[in-house]
Structure 1
Amino acid sequence: MPSIKKDDINLGIDYCLKNDLFKELNDLYNSIPNGDCIGCGKCCMESVGANLVEFLNIYNYLNENNYIYNIVMEKILDYYFLEYKEKLPCPFKDSSNRCLIYDVRPLNCRIYGHWTKTDYNKNYDRIKKDNIEFAKYMNNEHNIKIEDDVLNYKIEYCKKFKPSIDYMNKNERMNYYDKGIVIDSKLYSKSIMDIEFRDRGIVEYFIESIFFNSVASNIRMNMTKNNSYKVLKRVKALVLREEG
């Protein structure tokens, strides 16, 4: 049984549609200043953090555009289960560096280019420190080595993105995130979905809609430790067989 049940996802989507939460989310997105992006796709290398309402919005988009479901889900499975061995791009990026869910991409993606270089580097230093500590834990506690190419990967600050107004400071960025949390709270406070509140990357939401969280994590660790990915092929066959 998955951590995020499909029946709950459908209930959440229905609630968002009936109570205009997707409209509120889109209004929030539309309030972000524009910017000039060259579309190189170099920043699209992470499973960015996302709110519950954003996951539901993306899930609903995939339901409405079923032809890309298998493409996205196969990439999501690869990204998650190969995460400790290979640095793969965002599962929603295609071979032409286009975003397959561009219209419903999360807030983190929309704000990315608006960071100042100083804030960006400070954030990277914090993340790198956390990643090093996590890698030590995985090695010491589970005998799993996270590959150096994965551990040391850095998305370089984008000098080519030009915001239409100015770069955002931390308070300005947090204002957008706070508004997203307010929308999320309308879901959690109504107990529409039986889902634990915690930070998740967008890939994690989709993985938890397929597996129980601890099961997926154990499969990933065993695959990495044993350097065997036959299980991944079976998982793909199971997940993708009914979709098209």
Structure 2
Amino acid sequence: MFLRQQLQKGVFNFTQLVNQQSNSIVYRYKPQRSIFDKTSYIEDYVERPNKYHKSRKPKQVKWDDPNYTWPPVYPHPTRLEGRALIKEVEQREKLAIDRQREFKIPDFRAGDIIQFHFLKSISEGYGNTVTGMCTARYKNNSLMAGFDCVFRFHGVEVFMHVKQNSPLLVDLKVVDKSYGSIRQKLNYFWDDRTNTEQELKKAIVKGGHKKGKRTDIYMERRHLEQSKSNVLDRSEDPVLNY
């Protein structure tokens, strides 16, 4: 009996669904009209029957003026976005730091002996002058550039990471330069051993060119390339040699 009632009810619902008109109207969501929406171009525009409130902002002429862009398009506050914007700001800050400093960051690499003065307090202006071996460099052309250094301070071996653009770093110079393939030799200082003060003040020299020739070879090679490519160097014509 119960099953028969359910079947009859289902048949009745199905009959109603079939007899429903196929052209029924579907009311979808209609978003609210924007306050910047122009409606004056509509030919069959019907004026609002209820007037706006008196305190409502009056209509402006530039809303319908074709020579005026409404709503106004405001320019972006910056030219770049995202990572490009961050990189531009970092480069600007890095350039400002380089101009304000009284010294320039020398060209050094891992294995060189460097000497730098690192402050403990900017207001008091005192710190320590340290001489040790540079073991690594990080992000040379970035605002977050830095280097690692190992040295002995009061008889204790110290590994220090220094931010290159930090205001606490007030002086940096190269004492001795390394030459040759230093990767395998540099790992020797990271072992579980105690490095002497003499080892940490002697640059790594292994194979490669002789000491003192690292920059001279590049200068000589550059001079040869310029002399081969530029034929006017040996010309005696006063018009050409102006």
Task: Give the shorter-chain TM-score range.
Answer: under 0.3
With the length of structure 1 as denominator, give the TM-score of the two structures: 0.20
Higher relative contact order (CA 8 A, sep 6+): 1
